Amino acid sequence: MLLVRTRLAQSSIHGLGVFTEEDIAAGRALWRFEPGLDLVIPFEKIEALPAAFRAFLDTYAYPSPDAPGGIVLSCDNAKYLNHSEEPNTDIRGTVTLARRAIAAGEEITCDYRDCVVGWPGFA
């Protein structure tokens, strides 16, 4: 669940991106996994889902080290966060913090190597 106001817009990185609508101070939490709003979809349920929804999950959900046995699907714009090798966020388990000050209007990015099991270079 995003903890800051955001909007979706065209990204220079890929397709749509998440842009903050407010200044975010370095160290501020801007996302956290919120059970009941964000979902963990068990691996064993995915195969039985319709192909169109599985394709959606392939794009917008991810296997997280903090959710063994399933994939995480964010309930809000967070599903559109793009990867950067120089992200402006730090992922600390189920919380994402601003690595540095992020100005209103700037795209929020994360390093998929920190949170997506199987992403090339995943730690």
| 70 vs 57: CA distance, rounded Å | 11
Per-residue pLDDT for the chain (123 aa), expressed as one digit of tens each? 999 999 999 999 998 999 999 999 999 999 999 999 999 999 999 999 999 999 999 999 999 999 989 999 999 999 999 999 999 999 998 999 999 999 999 999 999 988 888 888 776
* CA 2 vs CA 16, 54, 121: distances in Å: 16, 24, 26
Same domain, 47 and 101: no
Among 1, 5, 8, smallest CA distance to 80 is for 8
- In sequence order, the 6+-apart residues with CB closer than 8 A to the CB of 43 are 69, 70, 71
Same domain, 82 and 110: yes
Same domain, 82 and 106: yes
Number of domains in the chain: 2
CA pseudo-torsion sign 101, 5, 2, 84: negative
| CATH number for the domain harbouring residue 21 | 2.170.270.10
Q: Is 120 a member of any domain?
A: no
Both structure tokens of 85: 């090798």
Residue 105 structural domain: 1-33+77-115
Residue 123 confidence (pLDDT): 62
